[in-house]
Structure formats: structure tokens, C-alpha cells
Amino acid sequence: MRVPDRRRPTDRGWGLGIFLGAVVAFAFVPATVAGQQQQQRRTPAGYTAEQADAGFEQYQQRCAVCHGANLDDGPFAPPLRGAVFRETWLPRSVEALFRLTADTMPQDLPGTLDDETVTELVALMLQENGVEPGAAALPSDPDLMADLSPGWSSQGGGLSPGASLPPWPAPWNPLAAMQPVTDEMLHDPPAEDWLLWRRTYGAYGFSPLDRIDKDNVADLRIAWSWALPQGPNESTPIVHDGVLFVHGYGDRVQALNAANGDFLWQYARRLPGDVSPSLKRGMSIYGDRLFVPTSDAHVVALDAKTGNVVWDTQVGDLDAGLRMTGGTLVARGKVMVGTTGRHEGGNYVVALDAQTGEEAWRFGTIPAPDDPGGHTWNGIPHVERNGASVWIPGSYDPVSNLAFFGTGNTYDTAPIRDPIGPPGTNNDGLYLDATLALSPDTGELAWHFQHQANGQWDLDWAFERQIAELPFDGETKSVVVTIGKQAIFDFVETATGKYVSSIDLGLQTGITYIDPVTGRKTQDPTLIPGDGETKRLCPHVGGGRSWQPTAYDPRTNIAYIPIIEACMDLVPVGEGERGSLTTGVRWTVRPRPESDGRYGRLEAINLATGETAWISRQRAPQTTAALATGGGLVFAGSLDRRIGAYDAANGDRLWSTRLTEIPNAPPITYAVDGRQYVAVIVGSGGYLTRAYSALAPEIRNPPDRAAALFVFALP
């Protein structure tokens, strides 16, 4: 056995020690008879001397600063060799040691080590704890390590002989009392829970909770907080029976006690080495399972009480460009999810069986030439059509039994810019910028409505679909309501997709006419890119109303819309350059012509009358969704790291606080044991936190992105 030399440890990053040491201290498991028997049933692990040597080189670079040059003399972490370490890991498989190292190290950049490097570090730990090298290499696939034991014997350690821990009450674990989520709960969520992306199937972003109200909101204080994996975060937590489930960058899901932030469990996905993490916007809960999209285009069903994987199904082909950055929707026993990316032939909405994970159906968001709507692509082949990404979770209407998904623009506008196809074709480009009404049982398309035909500005209509009962000409109708980047509301009948009406908030300059019968929008031809001239268009491509969902209060018919007041110049690119979306131009941001320097706008509009109730404006652009509550409040966050509470009746800001980072995700509210909480995630890096920072250069935010969850409550 070779002991590492005593060369000065490097300072290139934190090593294995902090988290592994915490496990040694916190999760110490004596080698009981049962543990020894389990160890004996496994095959002792083998490794080569070359693997241990390579592991030592990695250790010096990444780990010695914490553990010390000899693996047991570090200033910041417990030993990785010796009796305590061996006793702790004796009952466990080598797979467990691999996964803990892979998922949590190095401490400053967890999850960034490739499988081969982690395997080499594990080989080093085996060597330094008395396991001799051999001819067979330790496999770098953790699944092949599940039946391998560390191979060392119990040599004592842990608590001092005869020592006993003082009695201490075990903390309450809400997982023990958590009940399965039923269809009835999803149809009518308990007031204290937040079970869906926007809380209800109709995507309202409204909670009836009223303990926090206009009279006491000024007393809000931090109840607890929790550090999340470093990286951008636009996810919405799920809360049920006092348990909060949160998604972190790098494909980690954590369960926390919603009342105090106690850690309950974690799921950490080991992504393939060539797959980069992507942010997610939502996940779903149904029965006793949590349904989570992954960065390698899978959906996993997790046991909500343990975090263990129940099933894992591949949905998209990464090599073909399919990803998932939205989230799942569960209805009628189906887990539905949309894909994103520059996939040849477009994207998909896919449904999986909630019990088995088997694929039930798949709907292509761009039709083939011979399919209904396939004639709308200027006659170009199906493989040359792309886009119609589904960026966010869908909505569901139990009355009509239809699920609604919104699609985005194409990534290649040039082939459909002008109507040049053969007779019988046009360049509308279905199902771009459309609402799709699908049967959750079969995936059959019941109807579609295209909000913008032949969009050439990437001002897409890919956002939430709200289902509301509203009066039109003296008749109450169930309508699907959505708003695109141009800040235009469209209303279509829920059961049929028939156009009803629109509301233009007056922030756009590209649409000159909306047909009052069909809803078809006419684009200003002088602002279409492609003739070599710089043109000014409002709003900016980031959207007047973009990723930040609207909140809707069904009691008053008022919608609360986070808006950014900005425009863009369409600047021609150089010869031979394609420009953004092959438009031949690049987009640059600018204030509106009449701007007073206040870009953030929260607008309340009565959807029944089309009248604006109030407008609240500020310097910092809005970066979060709106949250409306039964306490007469609207919560929203902005680029200056603030989360604020507004009077839902007049827009006065009644409370705000500054956070450690930019809130870039929808805030939520929930209750545990009668106490109401408001939660918001910070973690910049999404489009809204990048696109508009040039408008307010004095707003200086932390250069180091440190995501976190902040939870507020009354004293």
C-alpha cells in the first residue's frame, strides 16, 4: 500500500471532504450483524494500481485542501481513511460511495466530475483503506458497482466504546403523514397546498389563503431559507401535506419540511458526460409519486416519501436535439410533457402512463405534409420544418376533458417568410404559436387555434393557458385565455377553439389589425426583417409579457400581468451571416420612445370588461410571475433582487425585501398547521435576467450565481 507523499496540498478548489465528512458524522452506521451479512453477500471490489495512481493525482488537485495530503490530516474535513471511515462504509455498496462523490463533489462545483475521475477517486479510497490492487479495473458505471462491497473488514471506530448519546426528541417528519394526491385534490386543490405549476388545472396562480393580508403584510419576515444547487432556477415548488418539493439546477430534487426547512431526502440524477444541465419550470405530483423531467430528456417517477426512482422513461432523443425545459402535467392517469429544441420535423407532446411509465401517445407539434395542416409550410419537406417547442407545463379542463399546450416559434424563419410554395400551400406554419387542445386519453387533437401565423419576430405565444368563465355579450362562456410576448390577450372557446375576442394592452407596434371574427392578426409588412434596413419594433424579443406567468383572481375576473416596457432594433447582419432565426437581423434592446426609465410594469386588467384597474411601474424590469392571494395581495419580483407585495385593489406596494439573488421563478404561497408562508426561489441566468440588464446599468447584482429558496411568514 502506498501512502501519499506530503507535498504541499493544492488550493485548486474544495474537495471530497466537507460532504463526505458530514455523512461520516451525521449518517454513521455501525457495522451491525445485519450490515456484515449484507456486506458478505456482495463481491469485494477490485481496482487497478493505475486507477489508484490517477485518483491520487486528482486527489491532490481537488481534495487535499480539505482532507490533507494523507487523506486523514486535513484542516476542514474528516478522514477518508482509517477506522471511522471503514466502519461507516462497511455495510454499504461501492455504488453508494461513487454516487455520493459524484453528486456532491467538488464542494464548489458539485456534480462536475466525470465518471472516470470519480471511479479513480474511489479506487484511491479503496487502496488507502487496505484493499490491494489487482488486474481487473473498477468499472466506471455505477450500476455495475451495486453488488460490490468495499472489501475491507470492520476494525472498530465510531462512537467511543461504551458511549451513549443523550436522549433527544426525534424531529417530526411530515412524510410520515403525507397522503396520496387524488384526482379530486388536483381538480380542487386544498387551500394549504400548491399541487400544480400554477396551483390549479386552470393555471390561475391564485391561492385563497388569506392569513397574510393588506393589514399585516408589512410584518412579513424570513421564516427559513435553503441553499439550492448553483445555477439558474425558474422552477416552481410543489407543496403537499407540509412537505415542499423543490427542483435544483443540475437535476436535483429535494424534499423539505415546509414549516421549517428541515432536509428530508434528495434525488440527484447522474447525467451523461456530454449532457449539460438545463433549467426546469415545473414538476407534478399524483398518488404517492413525483414526476420530474430531466436534462437528458427522460421523465422519472420518484417515490414522494423516499425520493427513490419508481420508473424512468426516455421521452426525447438528445442526438436529435430534443430537450425538456418546461414541466409535467398529470391528468386522467397520464403524465404529459412537451419537448423543446431544433428537432427535424418539430417537437412533441408525449403522454406516459402514471403507474408504469409506458408511453401512451405522442403528438407532433408540426404536421407532416400530408397531415391536416401540413400544407402550411410552403411545401418544404417535413425534416426541414422545426420549432413549435412546448416551453411550459400544460393546463387541463375536466369539463371538456382537454389538455391545453402552447407552442413557440420556428428556429428557421427564412423558408416561410414569403408565400412561394406550390398551389394549395401557404406559409402560416402550423402549429407554430398556437394553442393545442388534446385528449389526455388518446392524444387526439380536438382543435387548434393559431394566435400568430407566420411569426417572423420570435414574439411567440408559448406561455400559460388559463381556463376561465367570463361574460361575453351577456353570455357566460368557458374560454381559454392566453397572452403572448406582444402583450395581446386572446380568448377562444374551451370546447371548440372558436375565436371570441382579444385585448391589446397597447405595447406592441407590429400588429396592425386583428380580425374580429377569426382573430387572425395582420403584421406590418414594413417591419418584417429581410430587406437590409434597421427597423424598430416593440416589444423586445424578450417579450412585453414573457416567461413570467399572469395571475388571475376568479372572484373578481382581474388578471395581474408582469410586463417589461422595452423595444428592439432589428439590425442587419454582415454578408454571409444568417442572423437570429435566419431572419438576417440581430436584436438589440432599447427603451420605448416615450420611456421615462421605468421598465417594470405590473398591470391589473379586468378580463370581463377589458378595462385596466391599475398600473404600477418601477425602474427594475419584472422577472417573476405574479401571485394573487385571498388576502387581497399580489406578489411579484424584479431585477433589483426585490420581492414585493402589492395591494390587489389599487397596486400600492405594501411590502418588499431584497434577496441575495434575482428572483427568476414564480412565487407561491401555502400553509402548514394554519400558518401561511410565501416562498420564492432566486437564481439568475434565465433569459429575463440577461436580456434587460443593459437598460438599468446601475443595478449591480452578484457576479456569483447562488441559488436559494426563501420562505416568509408573519412573526
CATH code of residue 23: 1.10.760.10
Mean pLDDT computed over 408-417: 94
Instruction: Please check whether residue 59 lies inside any domain of the structure.
Output: yes
Cell of 634: 399580489
Cell of 176: 410520515
Instruction: Please check whether residue 102 lies inside any domain of the structure.
Output: yes
CA–CA distance from 609 to each of 153, 275, 308, 669 (Å)? 76, 48, 49, 28
518: exposed, middle or buried (Cβ count in 10 Å: 0-12, 13-18, 19+): exposed
Q: What is the pLDDT of residue 30?
A: 37
- Measured CA to CA, the distance from residue 106 to residue 118 in angstroms comes to 10
User: What's the per-residue H, E or C state across 287-351?
Assistant: ECEEEEECCCCEEEEEECCCCCEEEEEECCCHHHCCECCCCEEEECCEEEEECECCCCCCCEEEE
Instruction: Please check whether residue 119 lies inside any domain of the structure.
Output: yes
270: exposed, middle or buried (Cβ count in 10 Å: 0-12, 13-18, 19+): middle
Q: What is the pLDDT of residue 12?
A: 29
Q: Cβ(13)–Cβ(65) under 8 Å?
A: yes
Q: Nearest CA to 280 among 243, 319, 233, 346?
A: 233
Does residue 383 sit in helix, strand or coil? helix
Tens digits of residue pLDDT in 655-670: 999 999 999 999 999 9
Instruction: Please check whether residue 98 lies inside any domain of the structure.
Output: yes
Q: Nearest CA to 151 among 133, 172, 177, 167?
A: 133
Q: What is the pLDDT of residue 71?
A: 86
DSSP lists the bridge partners of residue 438 as 403, 445
Sign of the Cα pseudo-torsion (371, 373, 378, 380, in order): negative
Q: Cβ(255)–Cβ(178) under 8 Å?
A: no
Higher per-residue confidence, 150 vs 676? 676
**What are φ and ψ of residue 374, in 5° steps?**
-70, -10
Lowest mean pLDDT segment, chosen from 11-20, 221-230, 421-430: 11-20
Angle between helix axes 115-127 and 94-104 (nearest 10 degrees) is 130
**What are φ and ψ of residue 415, in 5° steps?**
-65, -20
Q: Which residues contact 245 (CB under 8 A, 6 or more apart)?
A: 237, 238, 239, 253, 254, 255, 256, 283, 285, 290, 304
Q: Give yes or no for a cis peptide into 593 (omega within 30° of 0).
A: no
408: exposed, middle or buried (Cβ count in 10 Å: 0-12, 13-18, 19+): buried
Q: What is the pLDDT of residue 317?
A: 84
Angle between helix axes 115-127 and 49-62 (nearest 10 degrees) is 100
Tens digits of residue pLDDT in 117-127: 999 999 999 99
Reported confidence tier of residue 243, pLDDT bands at 50, 70, 90: very high
Lowest mean pLDDT segment, chosen from 64-68, 181-185, 322-326, 461-465: 64-68
Matching residue, cell 402560416? 428
Identity (one letter) of the amino acid at 149?
S
**What are φ and ψ of residue 494, in 5° steps?**
-65, -45
Instruction: Please check whether residue 705 lies inside any domain of the structure.
Output: no
For residue 504, pLDDT over 70 is answered with yes
Q: Determine how many CB atoms are found less than 10 A away from the CB of residue 311.
A: 18
Please tell me the total count of domains within the chain: 1
Residue 176: alpha-carbon gap to chain centroid: 27
Identity (one letter) of the amino acid at 124?
L
H or E segment to which residue 658 belongs:
strand 653-658
Reported confidence tier of residue 42, pLDDT bands at 50, 70, 90: confident
Instruction: Please check whether residue 399 lies inside any domain of the structure.
Output: no
Q: Cβ(168)–Cβ(112) under 8 Å?
A: no
What is the residue range of 82's domain? Answer: 17-149
Q: Say which DSSP state 76 is in.
A: S
Q: Cβ(462)–Cβ(435) under 8 Å?
A: no
Tens digits of residue pLDDT in 65-95: 888 888 888 777 778 888 878 877 877 889 9
Sign of the Cα pseudo-torsion (20, 22, 23, 25, in order): positive
For residue 2, pLDDT over 70 is answered with no
For the ranges 100-104, 224-228, 277-281, the maximum mean pLDDT occurs at 224-228
Tens digits of residue pLDDT in 352-389: 999 999 999 999 999 999 999 999 999 999 999 999 99
Mean pLDDT computed over 283-294: 98
Q: Which residues contact 80 (CB under 8 A, 6 or more apart)?
A: 16, 17, 20, 63, 67, 71, 72, 125, 128
CA–CA distance from 622 to each of 27, 228, 569, 634 (Å)? 43, 22, 21, 13
pLDDT mean across residues, the chain: 90
Q: What is the pLDDT of residue 376?
A: 97
For residue 156, pLDDT over 70 is answered with no
Instruction: Please check whether residue 58 lies inside any domain of the structure.
Output: yes
Q: What is the pLDDT of residue 88?
A: 79
> What pTM was computed for the model?
0.84
Reported confidence tier of residue 41, pLDDT bands at 50, 70, 90: low
Q: What is the pLDDT of residue 153?
A: 62
Q: What is the pLDDT of residue 189?
A: 97
Instruction: Please check whether residue 253 lies inside any domain of the structure.
Output: no
Reported confidence tier of residue 23, pLDDT bands at 50, 70, 90: very low
Does residue 616 sit in helix, strand or coil? strand
Reported confidence tier of residue 21, pLDDT bands at 50, 70, 90: very low
